[in-house]
């Protein structure tokens, strides 16, 4: 299997000219001005201004919730504490969501990813120190396939705008792509456009990028003797999401000789979902190599 150890030490992403929230929040609020959720969504608090924030960024049903569930189960096994940040939001429903998240992690029953349909901040703690914070949010908040024309980087929800633009923490943008995403090619192009706009307007030099290619189990041709062929998976991702990798082309004439792109590639599978007649699909977690690979790359983004 190919070693996918990429070095992004002198990554140079985006412009430093990040506008303040005042210059953008009107857009974000106007988008939903006739709903009550705007005020609610604004009401977030992040006490930790240091630990990097991992954003699982992807369209609905791409696998964000289950990626977090799979990663959290793996980290717990390694001895990390993974817990929802209860101080992130003050409302009662948030506390319920935290409880639901913990229940999902502990259960051995079939899990449904869409049980978590609201946003949540999760802390990964090792020996009392927060290693990173992971934001899990509904896909519509990142990209809505039903509104593919909305690809501007200026129309994020208020809470996301606040996290992205106002916090000093490093962001690790985990862009989720899906093997065999069953949508029209123009929707895929729009998603790539949305990521392009994010990169140009929102990413800072200190930020890091992961492209996670989820549901690789759906592409049998990527496996040989039961082993996943990583470089073939990356090629498949590039074929399916035209123009995505070139957004992160390394512009440095020297380092680009050995590192063409400023992203880390992670092929992923959250698990296996077996349809039960008349019941919930049964979930079996994926092989450990997947969360292990993801965590290795995230650690490099956190430290590097």
Ligand X SMILES: Nc1nc2c(ncn2[C@@H]2O[C@H](COP(=O)(O)OP(=O)(O)OP(=O)(O)O)[C@@H](O)[C@H]2O)c(=O)[nH]1
The structure tokens listed for 52 are: 């990097």
Smallest separation (angstroms) from ligand X to the CB of 79: 25
Residues 147-186 that bind Mg ion (CB under 5 A): none
Query: What x-and-dash track marks residues 38-67 binding ligand X by CB under 6 A?
Result: --------------------x-xxxxxxx-
Total number of residues that touch ligand X (CB under 6 A): 22
Smallest separation (angstroms) from ligand X to the CB of 295: 16
Smallest separation (angstroms) from Mg ion to the CB of 94: 15
64/238 with CB nearer Mg ion: 64
261/283 with CB nearer ligand X: 283
Q: Out of 65, 162, 250, 262, name the contact with Mg ion by CB under 5 A.
A: 65
Instruction: Work out what residue 214 binds among ligand X, Mg ion, none; the CB cut-off runs from 5 to 8 Å by kind.
Output: ligand X
64/157 with CB nearer Mg ion: 64
Instruction: Work out what residue 217 binds among ligand X, Mg ion, none; the CB cut-off runs from 5 to 8 Å by kind.
Output: ligand X
Residues 260-279 that bind ligand X (CB under 6 A): 269-271, 273
The CA distance from 55 to 121, in Å, is 10
Smallest separation (angstroms) from Mg ion to the CB of 277: 25
Q: Does 114 bind ligand X (CB under 6 A)?
A: yes
Contacts with Mg ion by CB under 5 A lie at 64-65
């Amino acid at each position: 299997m190919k070693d996918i150890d990429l070095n992004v030490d002198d990554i140079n992403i985006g412009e430093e000219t990040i506008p303040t929230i005042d210059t953008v929040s009107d857009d974000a609020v106007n988008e939903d001005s006739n709903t009550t959720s705007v005020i609610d969504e604004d009401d977030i608090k992040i006490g930790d201004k240091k630990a990097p924030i991992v954003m699982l960024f992807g369209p609905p049903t791409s696998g964000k919730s289950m990626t977090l569930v799979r990663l959290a189960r793996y980290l717990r096994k390694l001895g990390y504490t993974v817990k929802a940040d209860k101080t992130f939001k003050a409302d009662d429903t948030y506390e319920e969501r935290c409880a639901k998240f913990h229940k999902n992690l502990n259960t051995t029953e079939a899990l449904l990813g869409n049980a978590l349909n609201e946003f949540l901040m999760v802390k990964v703690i090792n020996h009392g120190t927060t290693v990173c914070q992971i934001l899990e949010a509904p896909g519509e908040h990142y990209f809505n396939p039903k509104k593919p024309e909305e690809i501007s980087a200026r129309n994020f929800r208020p809470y996301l705008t606040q996290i992205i633009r106002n916090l000093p923490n490093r962001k690790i943008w985990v862009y989720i792509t899906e093997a065999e995403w069953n949508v029209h090619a123009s929707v895929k192009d729009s998603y790539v456009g949305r990521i392009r706009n994010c990169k140009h307007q929102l990413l800072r030099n200190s930020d890091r990028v992961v492209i996670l290619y989820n549901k690789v189990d759906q592409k049998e041709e990527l496996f040989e003797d039961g082993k996943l062929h990583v470089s073939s998976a990356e090629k498949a991702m590039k074929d399916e999401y035209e123009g995505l990798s070139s957004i992160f082309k390394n512009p440095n004439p020297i380092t680009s000789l050995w590192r063409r792109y400023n992203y880390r590639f992670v092929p992923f599978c959250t698990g296996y979902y077996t349809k039960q007649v008349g019941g919930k699909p049964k979930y079996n977690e994926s092989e450990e190599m997947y969360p292990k690979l993801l965590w290795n790359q995230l650690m490099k983004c956190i430290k590097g």
